[in-house]
A and B are shown apart, each in its own frame.
Chain A
Amino acid sequence: MGKSQRAETSDTGQLVKASQAGDRGAFDELVLLYQRRAMKVAIWVLGDAEQAAEAVQEGFVKAYLSIGKLKEPKRFEIWLCRIVANAAIGQVRAAKRRAEKIKIVDHYRGKKTLSPVERQNAEDLKESIQQAMSKLSKKEAKAISLFGLEDLSHRQVAEIMGCSVKATRWHVFRARKKLKVLLREYLE
């Protein structure tokens, strides 16, 4: 842990304690400190910035409402990442349900054919990743998303996941295996 990171952790601890004591300003500072981290987690899970923003807002509201339950203030970051990841996973599930509802309509509309050039388009990639992520289990989606965040160690990912490092790696392996099939067009 570097000097700046340690300073940030101790600041976080104080801000969390102040928030727990009812200091609104302290929680607002926590939002400023961690909104980027939360957004990264949500984007990796959801693959879309707009949806991720929704999940991040939901995550911060949940964190605000339950901050009193956080026993170790220094572990706020891990705790927040878990909340945001769960909120994002919840959105993936909701989107999947919505998609299933309109599946029949799409069937009659005919399948959209895309040229290889179009496929390179970031928008298409985003949609494909979103669809692929919705096919993963909750744990697989969470694990692959958190593993992608370079600044999170495997141990931290495991802590957020609530399981061992080995188990987390297994979920990542499974997720990659599924994604390999689901995103094969982009991997060729």
Chain B
Amino acid sequence: MACISGKEEVEGIIERVPGMKDEQEKIDLLLARNANEQLKNVDWNKLNVAISHRLDKVRQSKTSTKRFPTVFKIVAEISAVAVVVVIAVMIKLEKPTNLQLDEGRTAMVEFVKRKGLATVALIEPSDRAHVKVYIAGKDKKLAQCYVKMIDSDRSRKEDSTQAAWIIISRSERVYADNGTKRDMMDMLCLF
């Protein structure tokens, strides 16, 4: 400790200065007298009981805090799952990917990132129709498809009429190997 440099002389000074040691001893004796007087009054059993009582309290609270985290952990996990589900549902509403059709089949979505690049022409507007899809300039003629229309709660900008989801799906699932490894046969578009 820097502030102590030279302080080792302290003991020497006490020895050299007349009467200093006596005074030091007097102080020590005074403190000792009081400490001994106080120690006489100590009820050691009572003290031990008091310490044990305090320790028991701590042990109890420690046990309950050990139990609580498990409950909190479960609640947190449930909440996290719920949040994930809600987010997933919201994302699904925003960008539908796999949509469960009434028949229990899944319609794959051709997700178009840029607006206006995809158009769908219903050649024979019926439940089972030939559909021609233009995506980013490449037309993909699909074979016979199921076409399902679901009204959405959105309005089109052009004529403020209500938009609708058009789900186009093939009766047989055909996986097109177009590099993206996606099923290109089922499509879902918002018009």
Contact = CB atoms under 8 A, between A and B. Distances in A.
Interface of A: 24, 27-28, 31-32, 35-36, 39-40, 43-44, 47-49, 52-53, 56-58, 60-61, 64-65, 122, 125-126, 129, 144-145, 147-148, 163-164, 166-167, 169-170, 173, 176, 179-180, 183, 186-187
Interface in B22-73: 23-24, 26-28, 30-35, 37-39, 41-42, 44, 47-48, 50-52, 54-55, 58-59
Interface stretch (B5-13, B111-119, B169-177): B5-13
B55 A183 contact: no
Nearest to B4: A167
B30 A125 contact: yes
A43 B35 CA distance: 6
B35 A47 contact: yes
B31 A187 contact: no
Contact of A126 (B34, B42, B58): B34
B27 to A, nearest CB: 5
Contacts of A58: 54
Contacts of A27: 55
B39 A57 contact: no
Contact of B54 (A35, A61, A166): A61
A49 B27 contact: no
User: In terms of DSSP, what is the predominant structure of the interface of chain A?
Assistant: helix
Given A167-B4, A187-B23, A148 B31 contact: yes
Contacts of B24: 176
A24 B52 CA distance: 11
B4 to A, nearest CB: 5
A48 B27 CA distance: 17
A36 B37 CA distance: 14
B123 interface: no
B64 to A, nearest CB: 15
Contacts of A186: 30
A39 B55 contact: no
Contact of B38 (A31, A36, A126, A166): A126
A187 B11 CA distance: 21
B84 interface: no
Contacts of B48: 31-32, 35
A187 B38 CA distance: 20
A35 B47 contact: yes
